[in-house]
Every structure is written in C-alpha cells, then in structure tokens.
Structure 1
C-alpha cells in the first residue's frame, strides 16, 4: 500500500511531527508499504530534521520555504497552487491512502480527495491531534472537523473521550478510531529514587499549559503547609510566557522554591532525577509529558483537563484533580511529599500501566487500521 502523511512542516520540533514520523518510520519497515511524508513547506533541510526519518520513508515538500501570503490574491493563489501540487503528487505516486495530519490540513486535502475520486479511488483518513473542543481561535478548524466527518473513511483521535465527543457532536460517515501516541522512551529499569526532592513540570511556556495555575498552587501550598526546605519545583520549557511566569514567581516570593529551566535535549535526566510530576494544563489532546513521566516510573498529580489525563492516570499511579481546584491539588502534592512509600508504589504502577503506550502496541493499532480501511 502506498501511504502518504500530509502535514504542515515535518521539520518542526513538536509532538505532532514526532508522532507522525515515528508511525511513518515503523510502517515503512513493512516491505508491503511504500510510505511518504509530504510537508506543505519545510523550514529546515532534510539533514537538519528535529526527528530522524528513516531512509525507507520518502519525504518531500510542496514548497521549499514558507510562501508569501500577504494579501487575499496571494492567499488564493497559494491555496489553489497547493491543491494542484498535492493532486499531482498523489496521482504521480499512486497513493492509496492519504492521512491528513492535524484536522486543519483538511482545507487542502478535502478538495484534492474530491478531484481524485472523479477519476479513481483513494482512502482518506483524518488524524486529530488536539481534541474536539479546541480550535485555538480558528473557526476554520471547527469547519474542517465538519468536512472531515462527512468525507473521511476514518477519523483517528488520540483518546476515547475525544472519540465520544466526535460521535456525539457530528454525524461521522466513516469509522472513528482511538489510537494514542506512543512514549518516545523505553520503560526505565532504574529503581525509583524515593529520596529525590525534585518535582518537575514540563512543556512550552504558553497559556495552554497552565504554569501560571501551578504557581498559584505553590503559593497556596507554602502559605498553608509546612514544607521541607529541600523540596524544589522545576518548570522546564521555553515560550512567550517566560517573563510573565518569572515575575509571578517573584511576586509570590517563591524564587528559591520554583526554578524555570530552559528546554534542553537531556530531558530524560530530569525525569530520572525527579520525585514526581505535576501538570496543570487548561486543555490537551494527549499530554505526552504524562506518558513520558510514567515511562520513568514517576507518580503524577494532574488537573483532569480535556482530554487525556483520565486515560493515562489511575488511582494507583497518581492523583487526578478537578480543574482549578488548587486547594485539592496542593493537598495531593503535600501528600506525596510526605509519603515516600506511596510514591514508590505509584512508581511501580506507572511502569506497568504505561506499557499500553509502547511503540509496539501503538503500531499494532495502526497496522490493523491499514488492514481494515
């Protein structure tokens, strides 16, 4: 089968790009598959990818650089040229299955699919990477979901909860299949460090990730509980909210309790040396930081945002807290701080539970999709 993944820019360093490349690489190992990754444009050369693409995967882009779309005329021209280029690529390479990565790409793939089906057949899958309630301020994303529901042979969601939201809010013509992303890390064999006093939170410093809410939790925690002075919270990541978060930490006089750590390529060291992880996101698709943390056997305290946490965390591996209940969140953090046996038990449970997010388990679901579609 000739399978093509279409996405915005495969060279970016994001969860969507990582998971797309991982699945494409694994599917390409099957000699019956010919796998393509096609970017609309690429901001880096092939030899400077954020994630390695195997030589078995054929990669290409419709444009070498981000096209100039400064006015309506240029936008319309870019749109029509993109559809033409995509149509030509699909026909030339005899693509049997087009996977539209991230639902907003439907704006390009849907018209192309309509044109191709005038002359032949092609299977069409749309891969949701956020959740049904999130449009990031773009009504176009909501429109694309409606189009996908009417036209796709299958919709892939990251969680069962999102699968339910799609089926409850739209009439979906094809299948809806829940396939999570896999952990980029193998389950650690290292024994959990019960003596660690480091708590971590990881992600881009943007409003979605809710690090401002986590700082509020820490303010309440230190105002209402007696905390061992060795405990430290590390917020690891880069982003536009860095200055604002730094100022909030200073305003709360928590500079010696909360440290902002720049994003780096040795994130596994932070997981290995941590006691547990906290997440206060306002929304997610499937929060990879929770899956990664469990691969390292970390207990977790997380807000139960839409979507993902409730499908990753059990009572045996962490605490789920209702959104914005900062008092309960602080209580759970304090509980873990003062119960090393509970942390150790949760660590063991985390390692067992995360196996269903292994690359092998996720690949099996993708292979079944290719057989059934």
Structure 2
C-alpha cells in the first residue's frame, strides 16, 4: 500500500483547506495510506480520518499572530517586499524529511507554500515522488503572494515530478516557463449530498467568502450594495482576521448599509444550507481565485452565479457558459448584469439549470478517480 503525505500550512477554515481534508479522507479509503503533515500547530477545523502530524519546529498560534503583525509592518508601513504567507523554515524542511524517511513515504504532496521548498526536499528525498499542488492563480504568486520568495518558488517548480493547478490558464502560464509536467486538477464539490433547491423568488442575494478586502473585493461589494435595488438584500457569510472584520463592519455602518448588506459570520452545515436555500442569486467580487469551491456549493442548490472575471471564476463558469462573468473591478458592468438577473425570473431559472449541469463535472467521485490515477503511477 503506497504511503501518501500531504504537507500543508494548516487545515483551518477556508475553501482550499476543506478540499485538502476531503481529498485526503477519501484517498485513505482507497488503496493508499494517507497522512497529513502540518507546519502550524493548530487543530484541523475539518473532520479528519487520517493521521495529522505537526512539524517539530512548527508555528504555534501565538507565533503566527506575531508573524502577521511583523508582515503587516514590513509591507504597509516600511513598504518592503514580503511573503504574504509563511514559508517553511529550514528546520521545518528537516522535520518533513525526517518524517518522510521514518514513515517510508512514497509520495509527498506539497500544498501551496511547501512548493517553495521542493528543491530542498527532492535533493534529500530523491526516491520520493514530489507533487506540488497549487491553489491560487499562478500569476498571483509573483505579483502578490511571494514578494521575497517567488524566484525560489520558480526554481523549485523544476524539482517537482508533477505540478497540479486549478485552471487551464495556470497550466499555460507554467508551460510558458518551460514546465511541461503540469496538469489541471479541479476542486470537487465537497458539501454533503442534499436535495434542497434555492428559492428563486427570494430577494436575497448570497455571498460566501473570507472577510478580506483585497482578495475578495469587499470594497466592490460595498459599492454594489449601495446601488442595490429596493427590497433586495445581500447576505454575507464568512469570517476573517479581526482587523479585516472591523474594517468591513465599519464600511457597512459608514455607508448606512445595515439593511442592505448583512454580514452574518461564518456558517457551515445546516446554517450554510439555509443561507443558500433562502437566496435566489449568488455573487462573487473576488479580484483573484484559484478554483472557488463555494461556487460549486452554491450551484448544488441551483443558484445562478454572477462573478467578476478572474482565472478561477472563468474556469468554474467555463468562460460564461454556466454563469455570468462581468469585467474585473467594473461596478457598473456588474450592476447591469445583476439588475437583469433580479428583474427576470426566466434568466434566473436558465442559469439555475446551467449550475446543476456544471456539477456533473465536479462530482467528488470523478475527481478522486483522477487522483487515484496520478498516485498509482
């Protein structure tokens, strides 16, 4: 039985973390011995039926808090280039190498920031298959996420036996860098099976995402809410860092949007189900996405999707076939399409049907089969 280890940052709340936990759990039910190695010493937010091991020199919750403060000071006050995510240290790399040797790991799957150290890992573990699994638009790593470590990441790409990306655009970008060992691996629908349908007569619009102004385009969302048709409301489910949450709450109050833009905190299970059921439209204003899991979740309720264009939304909606794509950052364009959807139930029904069609490609069983093929080699 092949031993597979996912090296992750952590498994706290987030769409990509949920996908990681679900994939690991399901592969463990197949002919694989699966484990997870985390660089942060925090419990998984999601249920796991596989072994979770922390790096001996991993980051505690308090250490992570101070790293965030230091990063914020360096980037926004001192204006210095920084990594917007924590890169594994030399000691953490040594911890993973020791773990892989002790456990006789056959395949290491380096999730996100662990891909930066693929070179070091491959040199120490030449007989271990190295797969880098990237969860964001690959160009964002260069332009935003890795202010200090992008050249190191780019070099490490060549030491991965396979790089898995979320979109065709990402694959094309990596191939332009001379990387042919790439493949597109979509995120699957991970929400529990249900027979619920959205209320297309509702005047509620749903938004689900981390409270993060830059990434999720919450500044755009505020402007959209200010111009919302009378009687309609946007319900926002999600949480974020405390300073981002305070900023969002202040924006709602300063713009007198308490009755139009309703932030209800994080939701899962029955609460999230009710959130989708009571809506007639799902919207996204993100500046960038990898392959947004929440789209598939909303689609499973038959919700029509309207999203600002980015590589992730374009991939899920197949260029606009399965939902409405608007120009990135163009509030007027978004509002025009939103108003048409609000005013025309037939249009909502049309895209509701297309949402359910798209789900056939994103079923967990299909995605797991692809994983099995990769890991069996």
Q: How far, CA to CA, are the matches of 2:342 and 2:3 in structure 1? A: 52
Q: How does 1:24-103 map to 2 (within 5 A)?
A: 24-31=24-31, 33-44=32-43, 49-54=44-49, 57-63=50-56, 66=59, 79-102=89-112
Given candidates 168, 180, 190, the residue that maps to 1:184 is: 190
Given candidates 333, 340, 349, the residue that maps to 2:338 is: 333
Q: How does 1:1-12 map to 2 (within 5 A)?
A: 1-10=2-11, 12=12
- Kindly provide the CA deviation profile for residues 144-174 of structure 1, in whole angstroms up to 9, marking residues without a partner as x: 4312321111000011111111112x121x5
Paired position in structure 1 for 2:329: 324
Residue 24 of structure 2 contacts residue 34 of structure 2 at CA under 8 Å; is this kept in 1? yes
Q: How far, CA to CA, are the matches of 1:191 and 1:18 in structure 2? A: 23
Paired position in structure 2 for 1:138: 146
Please state whether the residue corresponding to 2:297 is helix, strand or coil.
Answer: helix
Please state whether the residue corresponding to 2:286 is helix, strand or coil.
Answer: coil
- Unpaired runs of 5+ in structure 2? 68-87
**Runs of 4+ off more than 4 Å:** 67-71
Paired position in structure 2 for 1:74: none
Q: How far, CA to CA, are the matches of 1:228 and 1:83 in structure 2? A: 55
- Kindly provide the CA deviation profile for residues 211-254 of structure 1, in whole angstroms up to 9, marking residues without a partner as x: 210221233x34xxxx342x111122223333333333344433
Q: 1:59 to 1:187 in 2, by over 3 A?
A: closer
Q: How far, CA to CA, are the matches of 1:193 and 1:316 in structure 2? A: 22
Q: How far, CA to CA, are the matches of 1:147 and 1:66 in structure 2? A: 25
Given candidates 239, 256, 274, the residue that maps to 1:253 is: 256
* Aligned-CA RMSD value: 2.3
Residue 149 of structure 1 contacts residue 171 of structure 1 at CA under 8 Å; is this kept in 2? no
Q: How far, CA to CA, are the matches of 2:247 and 2:18 in structure 1? A: 29
Q: How far, CA to CA, are the matches of 1:80 and 1:312 in structure 2? A: 37
2:374 paired with 1:369: yes
State TM-score, norm by structure 2.
0.84
1:188 Cα deviation from its structure 2 partner: 4.4
Given candidates 202, 208, 220, the residue that maps to 1:202 is: 208
The alignment covers a number of residue pairs equal to 345
Q: How far, CA to CA, are the matches of 1:237 and 1:196 in structure 2? A: 21
Paired position in structure 2 for 1:193: 199
State TM-score, norm by structure 1.
0.85
Please state whether the residue corresponding to 1:195 is helix, strand or coil.
Answer: coil
In our comparison, the structure showing a higher alpha carbon Rg is 1
Q: 1:84 to 1:41 in 2, by over 3 A?
A: same
Q: 1:151 to 1:235 in 2, by over 3 A?
A: same
Q: How far, CA to CA, are the matches of 2:264 and 2:328 in structure 1? A: 25
Q: How far, CA to CA, are the matches of 1:146 and 1:371 in structure 2? A: 27
Residue 4 of structure 2 contacts residue 105 of structure 2 at CA under 8 Å; is this kept in 1? yes
1:322 Cα deviation from its structure 2 partner: 0.9
Paired position in structure 2 for 1:304: 309
